[in-house]
Structure 1
Amino acid sequence: MTHNDAPGLPAAGFGELPAVDFPELRWRSAGPGDLDAWAALIARTAAAEQPVWFERRADLEQIMESRNNPVGRNTVLGLDADGVPRAYARLTKNKDGAKAHGFCAVDPHWQRRGAGSALLSWLEARTRQRFAEDAGARQNNAGRGSTGPVPRLRIFIEQKQQHQCALLQESGYGVVRYYNEMHRPLSAPLPEAPLDHGLELVPMDPGLSEAVRLAHNQVFADHWGSEPRDEEAWGFVINDPLARPDLSAVVLAGNTGEVVGYQLASHDPDTAVTRGFTEGYTDLLGVRREYRGRGIAQALLADAMRRFAAAGMDKASLDVDSENPTGAMALYRKMGYVPVNTSLAWDKVL
C-alpha cells in the first residue's frame, strides 16, 4: 500500500472512525507500506526530544501484526502534500480492560500548530469507541446490562517533555503515577546473592515462555494498573526485537519445576550512541507472592548484573513504579541502583 493509493480511515464494519481536526495534513490509517516513513517520523521526533526509548521499524512491524489492536482501526498518519508522514497517533487496549493507552508524535517542524491537540482529541474519541465496542460485545454475549468500565485514556510521558506535559494538563489529564528509571554502574563490585536450598536459577528458554507468562500474571495481579497479558501481548515481550534471552533468567522450585521468579532483559545497541553508554535493561522482574522474602529478586538482579558485565555493558538499568507494593524501590537502592529519570502516567476519564 503506497501513500498515493491508500484509502482513507476504514470503517471495517464497526462504524466510522473519528476524524482528525487538522486539515493541513491528509489523514488515514497506517499500512504495511508505511513502515519506513512511519519509523522515520518517530526517529525525527526522537532526535529532537531525546526520549529514553522510542519505537523503531522492527517494533512497528510487530504492531502491524496485532490482532487485538489492528492498525487499520487504531492508528492515524497525517501526510503532507508530498505524502510524507508528519504526525501520527496509535491506540491500544486490552479486551475488557479498564483503560486504553495512547501514543503519538508530531514532526518537530510541524509542532506548535495544533496537530498535537488534534491527535489527542482523536485518541479520546477512539477510546470512547473502543470501550463502546467492548460493551457491545459483552451485551451480545451476556445480555443486557453488561456495560463495563468508564472509558479512561492513559498516556506516558517523560517528565522532561515539558511541552507535552503542559498539553496534557491543559486538556484535562492528571498525573496518576510516577515511574523512576534507575541505573547501576557495573564497574562497582557486583553483589553476591545466593539462592535458598531447593531453588534453581536457569537461563530463559523458549520452552519456559508460557509458564513465565502465567507466573507474571499472578505476580502482577496486585500491581497498580497491571492487566493480565494474553498470548499476543506476551509475544510482544518475548519477541521484542531488543529482547535478550541470554541475559535473562528464571528461578524454578527444585521439587516441582514451577516458575517462582524471572528476570527478562533486553539490550539496545543504539544507546551507546544516543546516551553515551551501553546498558542491559531489565524489562520484567517478578517473584510469586508465596516465595517472596527468600532473596529471589536479589539473586535474579545479581545474576543479571553478571550477565550484563560479561557482555561488556556499562550499566544495569530498569524502571520501577514509585509506589510499587512490594517495596521494590528500596530493594533496588540496596542493590546499588540510583534514580536517573522520571516518567509520568497521565490519565483522563472520558
Structure 2
Amino acid sequence: MRYLLRPATFADAPAVTGLLNEIDVIEIGRPETDLHTVETDLKGPRTDLERDSWLVFDGDRLVVYGLLWDESGGERIDIDHYVLPDRQEAGQLVLEAMEARALERARENGAGRAVVHLHLNIRPTLDTSLILARGWSVVRRYHVLRRAVDRVEDQAPPLPAGVRLRSCAGEADRVRVHELYQASFAEHFDFQPSGYEQWLHTVDAEGLDWSLVWIVGTDDLGDAGFLMARDDREAMGWIRSIGVLREARGRGLAGLLLRHAFAAFAARGRDTVGLGVDTSNATGAPELYARHGMTLHYAVDTWETVLS
C-alpha cells in the first residue's frame, strides 16, 4: 500500500481533529476532541513541526498522526501517536521515526538518553504488541472521571470559618496560581517544572476563561490551593487541575474547590463535568473524587521507553 508521509502544518488541524475523533469513537464511544485543542498542540513552543510532527495519508485520507514535544529541556520527551486500526504498518513507520527524533532531541538537550512517554487508551487503536516488541512498558494508569451536575442540586458551598476563595482576577493572581501549581504538583509522577511563560502556554492562557480559575486560602496559611477549569470542550465542562499545598492538606480545601466548580458549571447550563486523575496518586485524589460522585469514563495508560 502506498502512503504519503509528511510533517504537519497548522492548516492540518481540522484533518487531525477529524482523525482523533474517529479514534475517539472507536476507543470511548463518542467524539470528544475539539479543534482548538489540536491547534494549541500544534502551536506548542517546544515543538518544531517540520521535525516533530508526522502525518500519513492514504490518498486523501489521514490515517496516522504523530506529535513530539519537549517540556523538560532534558531527557524526558513526550509523544502523541494515533493510528487507525487497519493502518498498523504505517503507524509503526511513524513510531520508528518518533523514537529516532526523541533520542536526537534529548541529545540536543545534552542528555545521554531519552525517556519517552506516550499516553494510550487502555484499549487503543494502536496494536500494543508493536510497542511491547520495541521495549515499551506501562508505567502508570490514569482515569478520566465524570459526574452529572444539576443547577438545583449543585449549589456553591458555604465557606468554613477562616477559609476564603476568590476567582483569578488579574496578572498577580495568575502568577500566584503558577506558584501554587509548581509547589503542589512537585512530588507528582512525571511532573515537569516550568517557568511562568512556558506554563501560560501549557494551560492555553489566551483561550482560558480565568473566571473559572479559583484560589483558596486560610487565615493561618494564606493562599493554599487552586482549581483550574475550562468551559470550551463540547463534550463536558473540564477541571484541568486541582492542587493544594502539602501543609494545607486534610482541611477539606480540595473538596470545597471541587464543589464550587460543580456549582459554577451547573450555573452555566452544563450537565456533565470531567477530569483526569493518576490512579496511583498518593494525595488521596481518587478517593476524593469518588466521594463527590465522580465515576469512570475511560482509562489511559502511560507507556515508557528508554532510548540511548
TM-score tier, shorter chain, comes to 0.7 to 0.9
Q: 1:116 aligns with which of 91, 114, 118?
A: 91
Could you say if the C-alpha distance between residues 29 and 166 of structure 1 is closer, same or farther in structure 2, counting changes exceeding 3 Å? same
SS at match of 2:120: strand
Instruction: Label 1:307 to 1:25 Cα distance change in 2 as closer, same or farther (>3 A).
Output: same
Instruction: State the shift of 1:217 in Å.
Output: 0.7
Equivalent-residue separation in structure 1 for 2:87 and 2:69 (angstroms): 26
- 3-state DSSP of counterpart to 2:273: strand
Query: After the TM superposition, which residues 203-218 of structure 1 pair with which residues of structure 2 at under 5 Å, given as runs?
Result: 203-207=167-171, 208-218=173-183
- The structure, 1 or 2, with the larger RCO (C-alpha pairs under 8 Å, 6+ apart) is 2
Letter aligned with residue 37 of structure 1: A
Q: Secondary structure at the match of 1:91?
A: strand
The DSSP-based 3-state class of the residue aligned with 1:114 is: helix
Cα displacement (A) at 1:190: 4.4
Unaligned runs of 5+ in 2: none
Q: Secondary structure at the match of 1:222?
A: coil
Match of 2:246 in 1: 289
136, 147, 152: which one pairs with 1:173? 136
1:66–1:232 CA contact under 8 A, matched in 2: no
SS at match of 1:221: coil
Aligned residue in 2 for 1:63: 41
User: CA distance change for structure 1 residues 54 and 29 in 2, over 3 Å: closer, same or farther?
Assistant: farther
Q: Which has the higher strand share?
A: 2
Assess, with a 3 A threshold, how the Cα gap between structure 1 residues 293 and 194 changes in structure 2: closer, same or farther: farther
Query: For residue 286 of structure 2, what is the amino acid of its counterpart?
Result: M
Aligned match of 2:211: 246
Q: Deviations over 1:66-122 (max 9, x none)?
A: 33222122112224455x5432211011243442111122356xx345011111111
2:116 to 142, 145, 153: 153
**Contact persistence 2:26–2:125 (CA under 8 A):** no
Q: Return the alpha-carbon distance in structure 2 between the equivalents of residues 155 and 95 of structure 1.
A: 15
Q: In the TM superposition, what is the alpha-carbon distance from 1:149 to its structure 2 partner?
A: 6.0
User: In the TM superposition, what whole-angstrom CA distance separates every residue of 1:7-60 from its partner, at most 9, and x where no partner exists?
Assistant: xxxxxxxxxxxxxxxx83232222234333333333444444447776543233
1:29 is aligned to 7
Mapped to 1, the partners of 2:202 and 2:169 lie a distance apart of 16
Q: Is the 8 A contact 1:193 1:298 kept in 2?
A: no
The amino acid across from 1:315 in the alignment is T
Any residues of structure 2 matched to 1:11-22 within 5 Å, and which? none
Q: Alignment RMSD, CA only?
A: 2.9
Q: Does 2:69 align with 1:103?
A: no
* TM-score, length of structure 1 as denominator length: 0.76
Q: Which has more radius of gyration?
A: 1
Supply the AA of the counterpart residue of 1:119: V
Q: Which secondary structure does the structure 2 equivalent of 1:156 belong to?
A: strand
Q: Per the alignment, in what secondary structure is the counterpart of residue 73 of structure 2?
A: coil
From 277, 299, 303, the equivalent of 1:320 is 277
Figure out how many residues of one structure are paired with residues of the other and give that number.
Answer: 304
- SS of corresponding position for 2:130: helix
Query: Which ranges in structure 1 are unaligned for 5 or more consecutive residues?
Result: 1-22, 136-147, 272-278
